[in-house]
Structure 1
Amino acid sequence: MKLIIGNKNYSSWSLRGWLACKQSGLSFEELTVPLYGEDWDELKRSSDDLAPSQGKVPILWDGEAVVWDSLAIIEYLADKVGRDRFWPKEDDARAMARSMVAEMHSGYLPLRRQCPMNIRRRVVDAEVPDDAKADIVRIMTLWAEARARFGKGGPFLFGTFCAADIIYAPVVSRFLTYGIPVPGFARAYMEAVWEHEWMQEWITAAEEEDWVIEQFETPVVK
Structure 2
Amino acid sequence: MKLIIGNKNYSSWSLRAWLAAKQSGLSFEELIVPLFGEDWEAAKSQSSEIMPSGKVPILWDDETVIWDSLAILEYLGDKVGRERFWPKDDAARGMARSMVCEMHSSYAALRKTCPMNIRKRYGGVQLPDEVKADIVRILQLWAEARARFGQGGPFLFGTFGAADIFYAPVVTRFLTYGVGVPGFAQSYMEAIWEHDWLQSWINAAEDETWVLEQYEKAPAA
Task: Pick the TM interval, shorter chain.
Answer: over 0.9
Residue 19 of structure 1: CA displacement? Answer: 0.1
**Contact 1:57 1:69 survives alignment (8 Å):** yes
Please give the residue correspondences for 1:88-107 in structure 2 after superposition, counting only pairs within 5 Å.
88-107=87-106
- Change in CA separation of 1:219 and 1:66 when aligned onto 2, cut-off 3 Å: farther
Runs of 5+ consecutive residues of structure 2 not aligned to the other structure? none
C-alpha separation in 2, matches of 1:117 and 1:5: 14
C-alpha separation in 2, matches of 1:206 and 1:130: 30
C-alpha separation in 1, matches of 2:164 and 2:17: 12
- Change in CA separation of 1:154 and 1:181 when aligned onto 2, cut-off 3 Å: same
What fraction of aligned residue pairs are identical, expressed as a percent? Answer: 72
C-alpha separation in 2, matches of 1:112 and 1:49: 30
Residue of structure 1 equivalent to 2:117: 118
TM-score, with structure 1 as normaliser: 0.97
What amino acid sits opposite 1:24 in the alignment? S
What amino acid sits opposite 1:91 in the alignment? D
Residue of structure 2 equivalent to 1:169: 168
Please give the residue correspondences for 1:1-222 in structure 2 after superposition, counting only pairs within 5 Å.
1-53=1-53, 55-221=54-220
Deviations 1:111-136 (A, max 9, x none): 00010000000001111100000000
C-alpha separation in 2, matches of 1:70 and 1:159: 22
C-alpha separation in 1, matches of 2:70 and 2:119: 25
Structure 1 residue matching 2:184: 3-state secondary structure: helix
Structure 2 residue matching 1:52: 3-state secondary structure: coil
Alignment coverage as a number of residue pairs? 221
C-alpha separation in 2, matches of 1:40 and 1:192: 33
Residue 29 of structure 1: CA displacement? Answer: 0.2
**Contact 2:51 2:58 survives alignment (8 Å):** no
| Greater mean alpha carbon deviation, residues 42-51 or residues 117-126 | 42-51
Runs of 5+ consecutive residues of structure 1 not aligned to the other structure? none
Residue 49 of structure 1: CA displacement? Answer: 4.1
CA RMSD of aligned residues (A): 1.1
